[in-house]
Structures are given as C-alpha cells and as structure tokens.
Structure 1
C-alpha cells in the first residue's frame, strides 16, 4: 500500500531518476526512470518492451502513477562476474561508484547500453559484480515495500 504523499500521477517527462512509474490501465507500462548521458531515461520493466529504454525528458506520451525516490536492492544469490559471463539486458552491474542497469534501445539492432541507477556510491576497487535478480523498493525496515521484482535469468 502507498500513502497519498508517496506518489503523484503524471507523465514520465515529469519523473526524475529514481522513480517508478506504474500503469493505470492495459496500455501503460511499468517504467523505471534511470539516467543516461543526456538526462532521465525510461527503462521498461513490463513485458511488452522489457529491458528497453529511451530518453524521457519532456515526454508527454507515457503516463502513470509516479513513485519518486525508490531504491534498488540486488539479490546477492544471483551474483555473477561480468568479465566471465556476457552482460544481458536487465542485469544490474556494480562497479566503481555506480550501479547501472543494462538496456537495449527501442530501435531494432540497438547496442546494449548502461543506464545509471545510482552514482556517488562508495568507490570499489577495479573489480565489479553483476546481478541477475533485483527489486525496486520504497521505505526501510518494517516500512519497506517491494514495488517490482526483476529477473534477467531467462532472456527472451
């Protein structure tokens, strides 16, 4: 459950990173707002465009319930070494001071790109770690709620 102060309703162009946009009907999608080089980026979590992305600044075509200030939690049991296994869409990678998600552009034959979920984290060594499963949450402790669970285990 969400309290009224934890969400707004609007277009993804109004949503800032890290916000989760939930659909209100069948023609809307579950979208996580991440960040690319040029600003906010819409990353699809729902099945129709799963793990694809596009720049979302000023976009008035996609709408939904906007939940700002979400957090990302990784499933430590799904860890992998990105230097030994191909990164695939939907995986989350922790390296240096960033947590990124791997995504494909909406256009056919798009390259796999990294969208920033979090930066300014405590820097790691030169090592990095990938995760196949992760979730989007709000709140902490007994107030924590899982809003979306993501698995890149079975790529399409």
Structure 2
C-alpha cells in the first residue's frame, strides 16, 4: 500500500527520473523514468513493449500514479559478467558511473541501448556487471516495500513466446 504522501497523479511529462508510473486502467502501463543522453525517457516494465523506451519530456499522453524517488535494488545472486555475456533486454547493468537498464528505443528495428536510472556512482572503470533480477522499492528498513520486481521467470516467458 502507498500512503497519500508517497504518490501523486499526473502525466509522464511531469514525472522526474526515478519515478515509477503505475497504471490506473488497463490502457495505461507500468513505467520507470530514467534518462538517455541526459534527456528524460520512460521504459515500459511489462506488456507487449516491455523494456522499450521513449522520450518522456512534455509527454501528456501517458498518465497514472506517479511514485517519485524510488530506489532500484539488484539481486547480487543474479550477477553475470556483462563483458562476456550479452545482457538480455530488461537486465540492470552497472557500467562506468551508472546503473542502467538494457532497453530498445521505440524506433529501433534492432539493437539496444542503456537507459540510465542512477548516475554519479563510484566509477567501475572499464568493468561491467549485469543483473537479471532487480526490483523497485520505496521506504527504508521496516517500512521498505517492493513496488515492482523483475525475475528470471520474466526472461523465460519472453524466450518461449
């Protein structure tokens, strides 16, 4: 459950990076706002277009509950060497000074890029690590709640589709 001070209702264009957008209807979608090339962008977290992103600046078409200031946690037991293994769409990637999500641009026919969700972290230099499982949370300690979770089952379902 969310307390009234933990969310607002608005458009995607009004959501800052590290905001989770939760749908109010079946026509809306769960999204996370990050940035690509320093411009705000939103990535779909589920559905037909899961892990596709698009610019979110001035976007008044998408709406929902906005939960600002969420945190992303990675499951360290799902780590892989992103330099040795191709990261699947939706994987969290720790690279240089960022934590990013591997996603496809809405206009991309092939390939993918990284949507930054955290930056200004301690530099990892040339090393990289990927994580197949991660989650979006709010709160700390006993008040911490998981709002969304990516699991290996998500990847298995996409592979079999």
TM-score by length of 2: 0.92
2:100 maps to 100
1:74-121 per-position Cα deviation (integer Å, ceiling 9, x unaligned): 011110001111122101111221101110122351430111110111
Cα deviation digits, residues 41-71 of structure 1 (max 9, x gap): 0100021210100000000000000000000
Q: What is the number of equivalent residue pairs in this alignment?
A: 156
C-alpha contact (below 8 Å) 2:6/2:68 kept by paired residues:
yes
Contact 1:137 1:147 in 2 (8 A): yes
Residue 38 (structure 1) shift: 4.6
Backbone CA RMSD of aligned residues? 1.3
Distance in 2 (CA, whole Å) between partners of 1:101 and 1:108 is 16
- Larger strand share, 1 or 2: 1
Tell me which stretches of 4 or more aligned residues in structure 1 moved more than 4 Å. Answer: none
Kept after mapping to 2: 8 A contact 1:133/1:153 = no
1:48 aligns with 2:48: yes
- In structure 1, runs of 5+ residues without a counterpart are none
Aligned 8 A contact 1:28 1:62 in 2: yes
Q: Is the 8 A contact 2:21 2:32 kept in 1?
A: yes
Q: Residue 83 of structure 1 aligns with which residue?
A: 83
| SS of residue matched to 1:84 | coil
Counterpart CA distance in 2 for 1:59 and 1:111 is 25
Question: Residue 54 of structure 1: SS of its match in structure 2?
Answer: strand
130-139 or 88-97: which moved more? 88-97
Q: Mean Cα displacement is larger for which, 105-114 or 71-80? A: 105-114
Counterpart for residue 147 of structure 1 = 147
Question: Which residues of 2 match residues 127-146 of structure 1 at below 5 A?
Answer: 127-146=127-146
Distance in 2 separating the partners of 1:102 and 1:19:
18
TM-score scaled by structure 1?
0.94
- The 3-state SS of whatever aligns with 1:153 is helix
